[in-house]
């Protein structure tokens, strides 16, 4: 069987895979990193978004072998070892940016890529457009957009702490 | 998905060798079309040949009065490329509207143009700008390349290497998206180029096509008003649950007006 070597959340792994093994299958089934979800499995919903060499991609639409040699970050790789949440995770918590939570890992990974690629800051409209590849079937977009708007100020160092959500 | 072997050659010659030795092997670039198709078991390749390690297929560069875009250029790269933005802003703008961020981080111009989905964006620009498709064997004019739904002049095992876009005087694109799939229902690309005025329709029919009456009208008078009076016939256009052929025909004129306005 072919082998793939990749770095996931800072740790190197060499794993035997089939030609058809998807990156998301490698993450969930071989590495037991089940924070990355499979929603639609048709490249639409974005529940499976991870970062590959710093870009957000749908891990259900990438062969594990295509990720050979890549640096992968999943939702499990965001918090600090002491449990301190990434500002985007903290913002999702503070702004109650989820209902059932199924889409959340993908939303957070897409949101971080979106914010990192726009150091000049994003308007509400740009945030909504930037989430085109992520579907929330609880239709909880409103708080998700607010969370991302708040998190970007912390991520870009414009605020030391997250702006609290309104009561 | 059925299982398959995986190859990752580093030269076009090696890729072509693998593909010609095995007619059931398929190239893969971004995989944003091929992998969903394989999941549906729409085809059953014995092997996929990953092109992403081939340096000859990469890069975006200006060569005189042409912009050359390598097959592996991702939609996101084209959208953000300073060369593309300076030479053909309409092309960068188009790329920025293909799918979503994650699709744009993987999908490539070579994959999109080889696939020739009737609702894809890039074929409209390739035909509208009178571009040349460069393969491992030959150079193909856009007018000869697109041959209807999911069909191109590429022969089995032939690789798209790059696309050469002559830099136009003006170009613009407008599309109406299906609100659910976000794929184009009807789009129009307009350009004033050295070889003449071109108007191309995508999404509305079984493949991209030139709208001759609109080309004549725009050549005489480059303005949104000039195309406003030209009606597209619904004959042969797509009609489905998303919209009738008549609706798409109506959209063609509306999109043509907007495309001219976008071109400035
Ligand atoms: C959710 C979603 C939304 C999308 N929305 C849009 C949209 O709005 N507009 C749009 O235009 N597209 C859209 N797409 C399609 C997307 O643009 C694809 O990336 C593109 O069509 C295929 O490019 P690829 O590199 O992924 O090709 P692949 O999937 O790797 O390949 C596609 C086909 O081309 C062949 N091929 C690939 N490269 C070459 C080559 N160099 N030479 C010869 N043959 C080759 C493959 O064998 C395969 O048959 C969307 C896709 C998804 C998943």
Give the tens place of pLDDT for each residue, B139-195.
999 999 999 999 999 999 999 999 999 999 999 999 999 988 889 999 999 999 998
Residue B98 to residue B120: CA distance in whole angstroms = 8
By residue range, what is the domain housing residue A49?
A: 3-77
Percent helix / strand / coil, chain B, rounded to 5: 35, 25, 40
Same domain, A50 and A12: yes
Residue A49 has phi, psi (to 5 degrees) of: -65, 130
Shared domain check, A8 and A66: yes
Ligand 1 pocket check for B16: Cβ under 6 Å: no
ipTM of this predicted complex? 0.96
Query: Residue A165 falls within a domain, yes or no?
Result: no
Q: Is the pLDDT of residue B240 over 80?
A: yes
Domain termination residue (choose one: A20, A53, A77): A77
Q: Work out the percent of chain A whose per-residue pLDDT is above 90.
A: 97
Specify the pLDDT at position A93: 97
Q: Which two tokens stand for residue A135?
A: 């579907």
Whether A164 is covered by a domain: the verdict is no
Greatest CA separation found in chain B? 56
Q: How far apart, in Å, are the Cα atoms of A164 and each of A40, A125, A149, B44, B189?
A: 33, 21, 12, 53, 47
Give me ligand 1 centre to Cα B35, in Å: 9
CB contact under 8 A, B36 and A42: yes
CA–CA separation, B113 and B117 (whole Å)? 8
pLDDT beneath 70: ranges in chain A? 167
Same structural domain, A71 and A99: no
Same domain, yes or no, for A70 and A21?
A: yes
Q: Could you tell me the residue ranges of all domains in chain B?
A: 5-50, 55-166, 170-263
> Is the pTM above the cut of 0.80?
yes
- Tell me if chain B has a CB within 8 Å of the CB of A161: no
Q: Which of residues 3-22 of B touch A (CB under 8 A)?
A: 3-6, 8
- Please identify, among A34, A51, A77, the residue that sits at the C-terminal boundary of a domain: A77
- A43 interaction partners in chain B (CB closer than 8 Å): 32, 35-36, 103
Nearest CB to A57: which of B2, B48, B106? B106
Q: Regarding the domain delimited by B55-166, which CATH topology (the fold level of the hierarchy) does it fall under?
A: 3.30.465
Q: Which residues contact B162 (CB under 8 A, 6 or more apart)?
A: B57, B68, B69, B70, B71, B134
- Our count of domains for chain A comes to 2
What region, left, alpha or beta, does residue B218 occupy, with left being phi > 0 and alpha being psi -120 to 50 degrees? Answer: alpha
- Helices within B33-168 (DSSP H only): 34-39, 75-80, 82-87, 89-95, 101-104, 109-115, 122-128, 142-145
DSSP string covering A80-140: -TT-PPPHHHHHHHHTT--SS-TTHHHHHHHHHHHHHT-TT---HHHHHHHTTT---TT--
CA-CA distance, A118 to A108, in Å (whole number)?
A: 15
Under CATH, to which class is B5-50 assigned? alpha beta
Mapped onto helix, strand or coil, the DSSP state of residue B234 is coil
Q: For ligand 1, is residue B185 a contact (CB within 6 Å)?
A: no
Q: Residue range B6-16: average pLDDT?
A: 98
Q: Whose CA is nearest to atom 10 of ligand 1?
A: B120
pLDDT of residue A1: 86
User: Scanning the structure block, which residue is given the tokens 């969903």?
Assistant: B36
Q: Say if the Cβ atoms of B31 and A42 lie within 8 Å.
A: no
Residue found by looking up tokens 């939570």 in the block: A101
Token digits of residue B72: 């592996």
Dihedral of the CA atoms A124, A148, B105, A80 (nearest 10)?
A: 170
| CA dihedral of residues B68, B74, B75, B80 (deg, nearest 10) | -70
Cβ density class B141-150: b for 16+ within 10 Å, e for less: ebeebbeeee
- DSSP 8-class letter at B195: T
Q: Does A3 touch chain B (CB under 8 A)?
A: no
How is residue A11 annotated by DSSP? E
Query: CA-CA distances (angstroms) from residue A31 to A6, A26, A68?
Result: 11, 6, 15
Does residue A68 share a domain with residue A92? no
First-to-last alpha carbon distance for chain A, in angstroms, is 56
- Say yes or no for a CB contact (<8 Å) between A65 and B50: yes
Is B158 in contact with B136 (CB distance < 8 Å)?
yes
Mean pLDDT of the region B68-91: 98
Q: Tell me, what CATH number does A69's domain have?
A: 3.10.20.30
> B45 CB under 6 A from ligand 1?
no
Claim to verify: residue A70 and residue A100 sit in the same structural domain: no
Fold of B170-263: Enolase-like; domain 1 (3.30.390)
| Confidence band of B42 (pLDDT split at 50, 70, 90) | confident
Strands B47-50 and B25-28: parallel
pLDDT, averaged across chain B: 97
């Amino acid at each position: 069987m072919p082998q793939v070597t990749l770095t996931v959340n800072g740790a190197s792994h060499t794993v035997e895979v089939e030609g058809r093994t998807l990156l998301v299958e490698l993450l969930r089934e071989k590495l037991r990193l089940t924070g990355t979800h499979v929603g639609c499995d048709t490249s639409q919903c974005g529940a499976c978004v991870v970062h590959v060499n710093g870009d957000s991609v749908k891990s259900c639409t990438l062969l594990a072998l295509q990720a050979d040699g890549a640096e992968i970050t999943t939702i499990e790789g965001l918090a600090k070892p002491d449990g301190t949440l990434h500002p985007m995770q903290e913002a999702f918590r503070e702004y109650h940016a989820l209902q059932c939570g199924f889409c959340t890992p993908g939303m957070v990974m897409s949101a971080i890529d979106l914010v990192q690629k726009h150091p000049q800051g994003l308007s509400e409209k740009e945030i909504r457009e930037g989430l085109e590849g992520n579907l929330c079937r609880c239709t909880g977009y409103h708080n998700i957009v607010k969370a991302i708007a708040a998190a970007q100020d912390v991520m870009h160092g414009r605020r030391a702490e997250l702006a609290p959500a309104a009561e | 998905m059925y299982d398959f072997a995986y190859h990752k050659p580093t030269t076009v010659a090696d890729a072509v060798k693998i593909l010609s030795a095995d007619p059931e092997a398929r190239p893969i670039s971004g995989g944003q079309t091929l992998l969903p198709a394989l999941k549906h078991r729409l085809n059953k390749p014995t092997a996929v040949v990953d092109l992403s390690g081939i340096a000859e297929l990469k890069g975006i560069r200006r060569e005189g009065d042409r912009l050359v875009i390598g097959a592996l250029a991702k939609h996101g790269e084209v959208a953000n490329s300073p060369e593309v933005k300076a030479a053909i802003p309409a092309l960068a703008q188009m790329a920025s509207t293909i799918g979503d961020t994650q699709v744009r981080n993987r999908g490539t111009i070579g994959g999109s143009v080889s696939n020739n989905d009737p609702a894809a964006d890039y074929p409209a620009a390739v035909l509208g700008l009178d571009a040349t498709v460069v393969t491992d064997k030959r150079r193909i004019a856009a007018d000869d390349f697109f041959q209807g739904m999911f069909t191109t002049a590429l022969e089995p095992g032939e690789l798209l290497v790059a696309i050469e876009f002559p830099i136009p005087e003006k170009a613009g694109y407008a599309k109406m998206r299906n609100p659910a799939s976000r794929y184009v229902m009807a789009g129009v690309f307009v350009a004033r180029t050295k070889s003449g005025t071109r108007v191309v329709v995508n999404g509305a029919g079984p493949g991209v096509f030139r709208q001759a009456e609109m080309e004549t009208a725009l050549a005489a008078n480059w303005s949104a008003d000039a195309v406003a009076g030209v009606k597209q016939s619904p004959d042969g256009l797509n009609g489905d649950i998303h919209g009738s052929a008549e609706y798409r025909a109506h959209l063609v004129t509306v999109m043509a007006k907007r495309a001219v306005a976008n071109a400035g």
